[in-house]
Amino acid sequence: MRVLVVEDQPELADSVARVLRREGMAVDVAYDGAAALERTSVVDYDVVVLDRDLPVVHGDQVCRALVARESPARVLMLTASGTVAERVEGLGLGADDYLPKPFAYAELVARVRAVSRRSRPATPPVLTHGDLRLDPAQRVAARAGARLPLSPKEFAVLEYLLTCRGRVVSAEELLDRVWDEAADPFTTTVKATMNRLRAKLGSPPLIETVPRAGYRI
């Protein structure tokens, strides 16, 4: 899942980003509305976590712009005001969900996952393939009943491959969907992560390499 966090308080924005990254999400951060509009014009995010009271360009304007350009991103709006009138107004702008501050990080993660499911074909809550079982909500992956000690990136790669249901996924697509903007497209990070993931999955092999195309399960 690719997420953009838009929040003008750097400490809060960076804290939210760290929490979402620990959940295996690829997260970029913008500290004002203008930067958010620029990033969303070049990256197809699954979810935009959008503070309403932003400098340069107000969060309301950002939300309207995303709706106007028919962005695929779902918007989770944050605000210091939690009144019913404020929530209704925010949803009326085109936001998909609304979360007042202060909020619990566990609820934020759950809401991000919930709104992201609306932007793509429905997937089962637990992903399976043969004797492999992956539970995204609980962050647990197991094969033949044995829990797999996966890192957040390994878990995210495996989750993405499973949701693609046999489709070949290129290394470039994995970089775009699993890593954030800091990832170097010319490194071997995808190959290295894939090698570690395959070693942890064990035999028989589950991930196939398709020459000059990518990977699939």
Task: Provide the pLDDT for residue 123.
Answer: 64
**pLDDT for position 41:** 92
User: What tokens does 22 get?
Assistant: 């620990």
Distance CA 44, CA 67 (A): 13
Q: What pLDDT is recorded for position 192?
A: 93
- Token representation of residue 205: 């092999």
pLDDT band at 161 (very low <50, low <70, confident <90, very high): very high
Residues 6+ positions from 199 with CB-CB distance below 8 Å: none
pLDDT in tens, 68-97: 888 889 999 998 766 667 767 767 788 899
pTM of the model: 0.72
> Are the C-beta atoms of 156 and 147 separated by less than 8 Å?
no
Both tokens assigned to 68 = 């106007």
